[in-house]
């Protein structure tokens, strides 16, 4: 019993508490798996550990962060970037008459010039590096014309220039971020050092790498994608290409595995990775796949650098433990015999559970007939609180799904399955026991690193997303990234309809169905966004009952393999699609001409998200690239966001206003929504700030 993983974990946590270190409480567990680790779905806003970390950011570091945040607000380099982009397009005009063969020869010369570039004064002002960058992008603009038959517009050149110079570019949905990233990656690859392009998921990484193959080949650079199914030998070959598309989890996971293969010395690791780069990616030790960390371009940067940065990524190994299995089953059995309010309390906004004094006494009585392990009060309380968390807060088809008798976590922010991620500290086994499923072997940590600290290791970091403005202060503070808001190429023709406020979910679903029917009759295409698998299924059943003759498509984590086919039909006349947040990123809904003529795609937010920028991502599906479109929000007073973050007295005031002053509903509901999302975002920011403080402490300790 003393050698079990659970016992070692508990002993280690007691030792950490004695030394004043931060200890994860039952409201926040890190997940672990052989391929990496993911945050607990739906728990991005978990309560901070009660024992706050002792290490503090020095006043000098803090001042630097504040200055970076201020610069991200005050410094607006768009005017300068626009002027330089016009120069790039004029440089492209000079060589537009070249034949394909002559143009490829010109591109080879540009690649050689980029490889030899050095910072220093150049002819006609600027630096040699800047001049080479301008000429390189001009050459890539011509390559895009020859390969795809269209000329990148000014805003795409601005975006590529911003990425190469280490900025955060906000580009609206549909503005061509994929080709923008490819253009910047080619110029970065011409410098002779590896360039990584990080996307939101494996599907997008593979898709973007394949879409750019003709362009990459024309520009004489190679590209490949890395996903979770690749064997180590294939991964090493993929990293040997000039441009590598991958996800943040795969990239960080490979870095950690390389570090384990090379040893824990940070200086040795960096030296070995650089040596691997010079030897074509072979490395000095078997098992090393990466070849250096120089340039990284992050697509959907707010999701990757902020949402996924809430918890570190962990590499772990499995160690079967029959004792832990039985303890997990006992914990669930005990938790099911306790009563809320009397034996335990729930803080729903913070997703925290704690036993009352009466509940602790009842637990002692209930555990009297169990193994001696349960005689230890602190140990018993901790395990039962974990079981209460799993059964009261983790909701099936929202935070996880059951597939082939296995618990598969769902990333609530993206709506996609996270098959390679599991929970640790016994939570995975407790969750499986609560569903009467076979228990998986527990895992032990081998290596761990936060995404924040990892991306700060790159020499050049650039990012782009459609929703950067809301997080510009954090981009400046954490990553030293100045945000540039790039205007749309064509005027936005999106129409915002009035908010509809309902008392409960059923009333809201009925209102959505009524509005949808009129839109279908008018020949519009409709996309309805929901937060979770369960909510989307519930709305789907309601819509099928109310609109039996309407063909309704549903897209969520369970049927993600049909995403391409569903999205392809979503822009047809009368098309009705219900989707989770996975439809808000990386998808392109092409409109049928008749739909465009009748008002375009209509987007309905059927359930508000914790963060306003996630809602804005969904709204960006409508009115892309100058198309018409409309959006509308349906709001109910019993939504999860309202239950967790709206104080009871404010909710009563809101309900009274709804009954007596209905004409003020849209205005008051807008204030309520901004208030609850602000509270959710503030809590998430505190959690990320805590991780940053720990990272700085690790940096100073030489870890």
Residue 69 lies in a domain: no
The DSSP secondary-structure symbol of 147 reads: H
CB contact set of 25 (below 8 Å; sequence gap of 6+)? 47, 49, 50, 352
pLDDT at residue 314, rounded to an integer: 75
**Is the distance from CB of 650 to CB of 622 less than 8 angstroms?**
no
Residue 701 lies in a domain: no
431 and 472 part of one domain: no
Per residue in 464-482, is it b (16+ CB within 10 Å) or e — as a string?
Answer: bbbbbbbbbbbbbbbbbbb
Closest by CA position to 453, among listed 168, 199, 696, 251: 696
Residue 230 lies in a domain: yes
Say which CATH number the domain at 649 has: 3.40.50.300
For residues 195 and 212, what is the distance between their CA atoms, to the nearest angstrom?
14
pLDDT at residue 586, rounded to an integer: 59
Residue in the structure block whose two tokens are 């998986």 = 440
**Is the distance from CB of 486 to CB of 171 less than 8 angstroms?**
yes
Choose between 58 and 648: higher pLDDT: 648
Instruction: Among 102-111, 129-138, 437-446, 643-652, name the most confident range.
Output: 102-111
480 and 500 part of one domain: no
In order, the DSSP letters of 192-261 are TS-EEEEESSHHHHHHHHHHTHHHHHHTT--EEE--TT--HHHHHHHHTSSEEEEEHHHHHHHHHHHHHH
Residue 60 lies in a domain: no
Residue 303 lies in a domain: yes
Distance from CA of residue 180 to its chain's centroid?
20
434 and 551 part of one domain: no
Choose between 200 and 159: higher pLDDT: 159
24 and 107 part of one domain: no
Residue 420 lies in a domain: no
H or E segment and range at residue 578:
strand 576-579
pLDDT at residue 214, rounded to an integer: 97
Distance from CA of residue 686 to its chain's centroid?
18
Count Cα neighbours of 537 within 13 Å in the Cβ-side half-sphere: 12
pLDDT at residue 696, rounded to an integer: 65
Count Cα neighbours of 667 within 13 Å in the Cβ-side half-sphere: 5
Q: Give alpha helix (H) positions in 263-403.
A: 266-278, 301-302, 322-335, 357-366, 377-392
Average pLDDT on 645-660 reads: 84
Say which CATH number the domain at 398 has: 3.90.1440.10
User: Each residue of 368-423: pLDDT tens digit?
Assistant: 888 877 878 888 888 899 899 888 888 887 788 888 888 888 776 566 677 767 77
H or E segment and range at residue 355:
strand 352-355
* 118: phi then psi, degrees, rounded to nearest 5: -140, 145
- pLDDT band for position 84 (cuts 50, 70, 90): very high
Its domain, for residue 460, covers: 95-312+452-485
pLDDT at residue 125, rounded to an integer: 34
261 has a pLDDT exceeding 90:
no
396 SS3 class: strand
User: Each residue of 467-498: pLDDT tens digit?
Assistant: 898 888 889 888 889 999 999 999 999 999 99
pTM attached to this predicted model: 0.75
How many domains are contained in the chain? Answer: 3
574 and 469 part of one domain: no
Closest by CA position to 180, among listed 163, 193, 195, 165: 163
Can you name the residues that pair with 33 across neighbouring β-strands? 315
Residue 35, token pair as written in the block: 């391929």
243 has a pLDDT exceeding 90:
yes
Q: Angle between the 100-115 and 128-148 helix axes, to the nearest 10 degrees?
A: 150
Can you name the residues that pair with 245 across neighbouring β-strands? 197, 225
507 and 481 part of one domain: no
Average pLDDT on 507-517 reads: 94
478 and 510 part of one domain: no
Residue 317 lies in a domain: no
For residues 234 and 240, what is the distance between their CA atoms, to the nearest angstrom?
10
Average pLDDT on 312-321 reads: 73
pLDDT at residue 47, rounded to an integer: 23
pLDDT at residue 597, rounded to an integer: 95
CB atoms within 10 A of CB 388: 26
Residue 215 lies in a domain: yes
Average pLDDT on 535-544 reads: 91
pLDDT at residue 263, rounded to an integer: 66
**Is the distance from CB of 40 to CB of 423 less than 8 angstroms?**
yes
pLDDT at residue 491, rounded to an integer: 92
The DSSP secondary-structure symbol of 572 reads: S
298 and 335 part of one domain: no
Closest by CA position to 486, among listed 158, 134, 184: 158
Q: Is 162 left (phi over 0), alpha (psi -120 to 50) or beta?
A: alpha
Closest by CA position to 384, among listed 371, 394, 374, 393: 374
Question: Helices (H) and strands (E) in the chain — how many of each?
Answer: 27, 21
What is the distance in angstroms between the CA of the first residue and the CA of the last residue of the chain? Answer: 32
Closest by CA position to 190, among listed 225, 230, 119, 140: 140
- pLDDT band for position 699 (cuts 50, 70, 90): low
pLDDT at residue 129, rounded to an integer: 60
386 and 464 part of one domain: no
* 128: phi then psi, degrees, rounded to nearest 5: -60, -40
**Is the distance from CB of 138 to CB of 95 less than 8 angstroms?**
yes
- pLDDT band for position 17 (cuts 50, 70, 90): very low
pLDDT at residue 286, rounded to an integer: 61
336 and 479 part of one domain: no
For residues 231 and 236, what is the distance between their CA atoms, to the nearest angstrom?
9
Radius of gyration of the chain, Cα coordinates, nearest whole angstrom: 27
644 and 533 part of one domain: yes
468 and 517 part of one domain: no
């Amino acid at each position: 019993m003393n050698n079990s993983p659970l016992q070692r974990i508990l002993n280690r946590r007691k030792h950490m508490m004695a030394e004043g270190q931060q200890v994860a409480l039952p409201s926040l567990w890190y997940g672990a798996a052989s391929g990496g680790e993911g945050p607990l779905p739906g728990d991005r806003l978990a309560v901070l550990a009660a024992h706050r970390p002792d290490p503090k950011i020095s006043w000098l570091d803090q001042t630097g962060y504040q200055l970076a945040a201020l610069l991200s607000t005050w410094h607006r380099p768009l005017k300068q970037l626009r002027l330089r982009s016009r120069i790039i397009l004029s440089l492209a005009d000079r060589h537009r008459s070249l034949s394909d063969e002559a143009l490829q020869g010109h591109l080879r010369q540009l690649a050689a010039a980029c490889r030899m570039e050095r910072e220093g004064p150049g002819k006609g002002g600027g630096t040699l590096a800047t001049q080479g960058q301008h000429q390189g992008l001009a050459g890539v603009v011509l390559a895009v014309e020859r390969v795809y038959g269209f000329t990148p517009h000014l805003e795409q050149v601005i975006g590529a220039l911003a990425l190469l110079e280490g900025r955060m570019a906000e580009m609206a949905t549909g503005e061509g971020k994929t080709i923008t990233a490819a253009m910047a990656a080619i110029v970065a690859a011409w410098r002779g050092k590896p360039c990584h392009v990080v996307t939101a998921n494996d599907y997008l990484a593979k898709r973007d790498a394949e879409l750019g193959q003709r362009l990459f080949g024309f520009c004489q650079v190679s590209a490949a994608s890395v996903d979770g199914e690749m064997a180590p030998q294939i991964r090493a070959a993929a990293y040997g290409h000039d441009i590598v598309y991958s996800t943040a989890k795969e990239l960080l996971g490979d870095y950690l595995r390389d570090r384990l293969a090379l040893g824990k010395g940070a200086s040795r690791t960096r030296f070995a990775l650089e040596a691997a780069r010079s030897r074509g990616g072979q490395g000095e030790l078997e098992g090393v796949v990466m070849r250096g960390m120089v340039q990284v371009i992050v697509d959907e940067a707010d999701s990757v650098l902020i949402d996924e940065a809430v918890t570190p990524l962990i590499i772990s190994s499995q160690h079967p433990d029959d004792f832990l299995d039985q303890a997990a089953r006992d914990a669930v059995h005990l938790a099911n015999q306790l009563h809320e309010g009397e034996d335990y309390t729930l803080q729903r906004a913070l997703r925290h559970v704690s036993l009352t004094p009466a509940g602790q006494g009842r637990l002692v009585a209930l555990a009297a007939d169990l193994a001696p392990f349960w005689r230890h009060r602190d140990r018993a309380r901790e395990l039962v609180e974990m079981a209460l968390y799993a059964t009261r807060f983790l909701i099936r088809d929202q935070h996880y799904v059951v597939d082939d008798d296995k618990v598969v976590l769902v990333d609530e922010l993206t709506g996609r399955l996270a098959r390679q991620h599991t929970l640790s500290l016994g939570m995975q086994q407790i969750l499986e026991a609560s569903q009467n499923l076979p228990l998986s072997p527990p895992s032990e940590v081998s290596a761990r690193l936060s995404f924040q600290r990892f991306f700060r290791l790159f020499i050049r970091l650039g990012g782009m997303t459609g929703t950067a403005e809301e997080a510009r202060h954090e981009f400046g503070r954490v990553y030293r990234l100045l945000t540039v808001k790039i205007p749309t190429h064509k005027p936005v023709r999106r129409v915002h309809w009035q908010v509809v406020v309902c008392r409960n979910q059923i009333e809201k679903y009925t209102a959505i169905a009524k509005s949808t029917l009129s839109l279908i009759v008018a020949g519009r295409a409709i996309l309805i966004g929901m937060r979770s698998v369960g909510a989307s299924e519930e709305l789907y059943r309601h819509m099928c009952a109310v609109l039996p003759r309407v063909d309704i498509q549903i897209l969520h984590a369970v049927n993600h393999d049909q995403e391409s086919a569903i999205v392809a039909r979503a822009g047809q006349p009368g098309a009705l699609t219900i989707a989770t947040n996975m439809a808000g990123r990386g998808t392109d809904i092409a409109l049928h001409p008749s739909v465009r003529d009748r008002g375009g795609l209509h987007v309905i937010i059927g359930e508000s998200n914790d963060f306003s920028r996630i809602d804005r991502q969904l709204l960006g599906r409508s009115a892309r690239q100058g198309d018409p479109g409309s959006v509308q929000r349906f709001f109910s007073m019993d939504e999860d966001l309202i239950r967790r973050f709206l104080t009871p007295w404010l909710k009563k005031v809101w309900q009274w206003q709804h009954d007596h002053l209905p004409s003020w509903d849209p205005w008051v509901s807008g204030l309520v929504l901004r208030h609850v999302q602000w509270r959710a975002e503030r809590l998430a920011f505190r959690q990320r700030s805590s991780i940053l403080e720990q990272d700085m402490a690790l940096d100073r300790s030489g870890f």
